[in-house]
Structure 1
Amino acid sequence: MAGPPTTPAPTRGRRDRRGEQRRAELLEAAIHLIGAHGLDAVTHRAVAAEAGVPAASTSYYFRSKDELIDEALNTLATREIALLRARREALGERVADLAETTEALSGWIEEQLTPEGRIAMLAQYQLQLEAARRPAARQILAAWKDGTDDLAETAMSSLGAADVRTAGILLVCAIDGLRLRLMASGHDPLSPQQLRATIRALLAGLVGS
């Protein structure tokens, strides 16, 4: 699997444990603002207020809004890849079982549909779209894609898909589409049973294609 995304090491602010903690708090505040209110809501002052720290704190650690957004994207990407890897390792050999894989994917999606999970997922999509316009962020997006593709292909290979690469790409696209549908207004939410039936049919179809 590809390693976690990387960006140039930041140079502003304290480099001790306290400074790293404050940077992390500010990045979490920025991610929450993006998910709850959109990218336009991110200003140095708003991020500091969300984090509950002095107004000058954000500019002390981040030169610009662009740098703050890049690092927020990197934080989300690194976290997402780590969570997916942990789920894969927790499944172990059971990833080859259709029922176990169905339950794991369904549980992961349900976690993202909680109020807190929705904010994080909205921030993820908004940051990914913004990064597509920013050449400096392409390395982060590439690492995120590679990590996600690798996990999807591992699952498809374990389940016995004939064309592992194609099945992995389709799985990632289908899960993205399903998550967006479940978040969007105008769509009735799926019950836990309906979600699992949908995921099982998706996996079975990809394995048999």
Structure 2
Amino acid sequence: MSNGRPARYARGRERRDELISAAIAVIAERGIERVTFRAVADRAGFPASTTSYFFSSVDEVIDAAITRVAETITGNVADLLETARSGEMTRDELAESLIELVAGQDNDDSVAQFEAYLAVRRRPELAEPVHRIMASIEEAAEKALESFGVADPSIPAKQFLALIDGFTLQEIARPGRPESRRALSDLMTRILDSYAK
């Protein structure tokens, strides 16, 4: 006879995931410094004590939220790398794919990402997931650039990362401006052309 443990475990895992999603939303809405157990539980629609049942500290909640954002971005990067390695992308499609990689994120993820970037100076424990986000985007740019014949893609990949981050910040502040996206795409293809063989 089943003792119900697998079902309880699954429900617990689901509830923990909902709390992490709620923490990302709180970070996006209020900033990292305003994350509390109560704020996360309220956002998830759970009783106030729920967050402390699953997490031992507010820092652990924040780390789980930023790690989730990093994992989401890393997963999207893996998809882009697979397409770039297939050799089926044009340079314009590469630029669009890199833009979509960040612009296509859930807005809460984007805002939480940049909240974490800024918070690293005050919270060094966030450096690992933040650096993982940056490294994954940079790696995607490097691999994609290699497929277009760029011999040493490390410098242009860093340039692409800086451009994409700047675009994402502008998109957060002034969303839905197609001219910004066109300008970024144009600059990225110019950079690609300047380095391609």
Q: TM-score range by the shorter chain?
A: 0.7 to 0.9
Aligned to 2:88: 94
Q: TM-score, normalised by structure 2?
A: 0.82
**Contact 2:103/2:168 (CA < 8 Å) preserved in 1?**
no
* Offset of residue 175 of structure 1: 0.7
Matched ranges for 1:53-202 at <5 A: 53-91=46-84, 92-95=86-89, 97-112=90-105, 117-185=106-174, 190-191=177-178, 195-196=181-182, 198-202=184-188
1:150–1:66 CA distance, 2 compared to 1 (3 A): same
Partner of 2:87: helix, strand, or coil?
helix
Aligned to 1:37: 30
Percent sequence identity is: 32
**Contact 2:142/2:153 (CA < 8 Å) preserved in 1?**
yes
Q: TM-score, normalised by structure 1?
A: 0.78
Partner of 2:104: helix, strand, or coil?
helix
Equivalent position amino acid for 2:79 in 1: A
Query: Structure 1 stretches of 5 or more lacking a match?
Result: 1-14
RCO comparison, higher one (Cα < 8 Å, 6+): 1
Equivalent position amino acid for 2:185 in 1: I
Partner of 2:159: helix, strand, or coil?
helix
Give, in whole Å, the separation in 2 of the partners of 1:107 and 1:152: 13
Give, in whole Å, the separation in 2 of the partners of 1:120 and 1:180: 12
Partner of 1:94: helix, strand, or coil?
coil
Equivalent position amino acid for 2:15 in 1: R
Give, in whole Å, the separation in 2 of the partners of 1:121 and 1:78: 13
Which stretch has the larger CA shift, 43-52 or 131-140? 131-140
